[in-house]
Amino acid sequence: MASDIFLSIVIPSYNESQNIARGVLDRTIEYLAKQDFSWELILSDDGSTDGTSEHLDMFAKKNRNISVIHNTHRGKGPTVFAGMQIAKGKLRLFSDFDQATPIEELEKLLPFFHRGYDVVIGSREVQGAKREREPIHRHIMGRVFNVAVKTVAIKGIQDTQCGFKMFTAEAVKTLFPLLYIYKPGAARSDSYTGAFDVELLYIAEKLKMKIAEVPVYWSYMESIRVDPIKDSTRMFIDLLRIRLADFQGAYDR
């Protein structure tokens, strides 16, 4: 039986008490409650240790369309994967918890699905995008990583890292089980999020899915979990691992 849910929103979390205090979830649910389409909000927690998990359980009581998944800490990729596995929407969005790109921006993505796109991603780099409050060192880091991505993995996408991506249900069912570097695996102790988005888009491009890159608004949110030097090095190594995995046939269906 086909699902009658139009849109599933998956929001991963890891120690997000400060963002919860900012009211990001309240603003998200207020927006969704005004829409004329059916929706579900899936809050997928990555083994938080700061009370986030308990806050999410309390928040879910506000609306029957909200559900919470409690995962072992494995990183962003497996946490988004867990949410997408239970999602029922015809379209499925994942969005960063801090709402650096606010939920309202999904209105810019939706029209592309009527044109036959399988994957529609928010971008901070294409013409018409707006980015605010970004420190110069983070901007430079992002540009350098973009060059590395285009050189090693994906040539046709300007911004692989914006955490605002939407898929058809069919694309989700095809792409996520093919994740290799960022598939659900062993528990981890750090907060490294990695190049999960790159692997996902690399597979989509390899399978010749129709991908649209759409300009969105994005505002920088400070995070104490990012180690600029260490994380950048690890992400570049992961780009090489993605190419090696492809060479070894990991993404062949």
Domain harbouring 17, CATH code: 3.90.550.10
Domain encompassing residue 100? 7-247
Which of 212, 201, 7, 214 is closest to 117 using CA atoms? Answer: 212
Q: What's the whole-number mean pLDDT along residues 226-244? A: 85
Q: How many structural domains are present in the chain?
A: 1
Dihedral (Cα; 31, 36, 37, 39), 10-degree rounding: 40
Residue 142 domain-assigned (yes or no): yes
Q: Could you tell me the pLDDT band of residue 147, with boundaries at 50, 70 and 90? A: confident
Report the alpha-carbon distance of residue 188 to residue 183 in Å, rounded: 13
Residue 253 domain-assigned (yes or no): no
Amino acid 2: pLDDT: 55
At 89, which amino acid appears?
Answer: G
Q: What's the whole-number mean pLDDT along residues 110-121? A: 97
Residue 64 domain-assigned (yes or no): yes
The mean pLDDT value of the chain amounts to 92
Asked whether the beta carbons of 95 and 103 are under 8 A apart, the reply is: yes
Q: Which residue has the higher pLDDT, 60 or 186?
A: 60
DSSP for residue 234: H
* pTM for this entry: 0.93
Asked whether the beta carbons of 95 and 164 are under 8 A apart, the reply is: yes
